[in-house]
Amino acid sequence: MMGAIVALMTTSARTQVGIVGAGPAGLLLSHLLALRGIDSIVVENRSRAYCEARQRAGLLEAGSVELLRQVGLGVRMDAEGLEHGGIYLQFAGERHHLDFRDLTGGRWVTLWPQTEVVKDLIRARVAAGAQIEFEVSDTEVADQHTEAPVLRYTDAAGTRHEVTCDAIAGCDGFHGICRDSMPPGLLRVAEREYPYAWLGILATVPPSTDELIYSRHEDGFALHTMRTPQVSRLYLQVPADDEIERWSDDRIWSELQRRLGVPGWELKTGPITEKAVSPMRSFVATPMQWGRLFLAGDAAHIVPPTGAKGLNLAIADVTALATALVSLLRDHDPSAAAGYTETCLRRVWRATHFSWWMTTMLHIDPHQDQFGTELQLSQLRYVIASRAAATTLAENYTGYYPLRW
């Protein structure tokens, strides 16, 4: 009975921007808004520890790195992040180096894991006294089409809250609730499913390579990336419906050795501390805004990870969104907010094409015929032989559109 009474009590509050999701998109948005004097609340259904440990992306484009530095989040990244000026592309048993700095006039990428971006963001927001509510449940958004949209959630102690906002940001990832809170029939979705998945591992062993290795092999794609000088991250293409239980550590290492191996090179092995299978999908929903509800990051679009674009798109979306919300709420100028979808989608579609291109060039489709195989190999030979083709890969990989804040 007491429980029922407590559950019925709702506390009311007000803020300028209600943010759903404490992933990189939601946390960075809250940080950027605070720098321009706009208040926000972030609600997140997982715990802080879970958000800080979730293994995901690794690579930041040069523009994302520069933005994080500019907004005071670069100290640990500059000390501990690993700058990469290129990648290895491997196919037909040979490994080739692409030098991004040479191809793009000095651009690069930085390996700075999403876990660390999220830890730095949470620490900065908490130190600034920001309101981040972890372990909430029953998140709801309402009145999105009015100038006073409402965010409701139940906190970890069981109290129901209703926060009246000037705008709501749906930064709640692909499986969140905000996208589905838009009116049926408004959203148009363009998507593609791929007939394979990635098995990703984290292993306590120094990387066996100085740059990332993207390898097309007859048995499937493999990627060697890293986290620190002591920790490696590796991925294997596996069937779309594969189960992690079928992959013993020994089987994983021998498959990686086969797909990544070239004469004279040795893959170092070590204890595997994490392994998981992730599906691969391209998905773009439009519009990214309805009234005062704005979607950002994976809530609006996802890409297969072969192009390393997802985190970078989330950063770019919220940079545009913060600018739009500052104009709307502080300067009463709605034009940037009205153009938000268009601003984001230009970059999103470039990244969507690039990620699809990298994915289909490097993976083995189970239904692939000789024609498909020859096209892949021809494209790969062209990329390593033609400076124009290599530059196309390099300028997309390092980030094509400049990021402005």
Under the binding rule (CB under 6 A), the answer on residue 87 touching ligand PHB is no
Contacts of 377 (CB under 8 A, 6+ apart): 91, 92
Under the binding rule (CB under 6 A), the answer on residue 309 touching ligand RFL is yes
Which residue among 74, 173, 176, 305 contacts ligand PHB (CB under 6 A)? 305
119 is catalytic: no
Instruction: Answer with the entry of ligand PHB, ligand RFL, none that 171 interacts with (C-beta below 5 to 8 A by kind).
Output: ligand RFL
Under the binding rule (CB under 6 A), the answer on residue 45 touching ligand RFL is yes
Q: Which is nearer to ligand PHB, 181 or 306 (CB)?
A: 306
Under the binding rule (CB under 6 A), the answer on residue 306 touching ligand PHB is yes
Total residues at interface with ligand RFL (CB under 6 A): 36
397 is catalytic: yes
**Tokens at residue 127, please?**
């130190």
Under the binding rule (CB under 6 A), the answer on residue 73 touching ligand PHB is no
Which residue among 308, 313, 316, 348 contacts ligand PHB (CB under 6 A)? 308
The C-alpha torsion from 181 through 184 and 190 to 194, rounded to 10°, is 70
Instruction: Answer with the entry of ligand RFL, ligand PHB, none that 326 interacts with (C-beta below 5 to 8 A by kind).
Output: none
From 392, 310, 360, 403, select the one nearest 104 (Cα to Cα): 392
Contacts of 74 (CB under 8 A, 6+ apart): 65, 68
Active-site annotation holder among 31, 84, 275, 301: 84
From 107, 68, 116, 114, select the one nearest 87 (Cα to Cα): 107
Active-site annotation holder among 214, 301, 304, 363: 214
Total residues at interface with ligand PHB (CB under 6 A): 9
To ligand RFL, the closest distance from the beta carbon of 171 in angstroms equals 5
CA distance 113 to 391: 25
Alpha carbon distance, N-terminus to C-terminus of the chain: 52
340 is catalytic: no
84 is catalytic: yes
CA distance 318 to 154: 25
Instruction: Answer with the entry of ligand RFL, ligand PHB, none that 67 interacts with (C-beta below 5 to 8 A by kind).
Output: none
Under the binding rule (CB under 6 A), the answer on residue 305 touching ligand RFL is yes
Contact between 299 and 21 under an 8 Å Cβ cutoff? The reply is yes
Angle, helices 114-127 vs 24-35, to 10°: value is 40
CA distance 230 to 241: 32
Under the binding rule (CB under 6 A), the answer on residue 329 touching ligand RFL is no
Instruction: Answer with the entry of ligand PHB, ligand RFL, none that 233 interacts with (C-beta below 5 to 8 A by kind).
Output: ligand PHB
Catalytic residue numbers read: 84, 214, 305, 309, 397
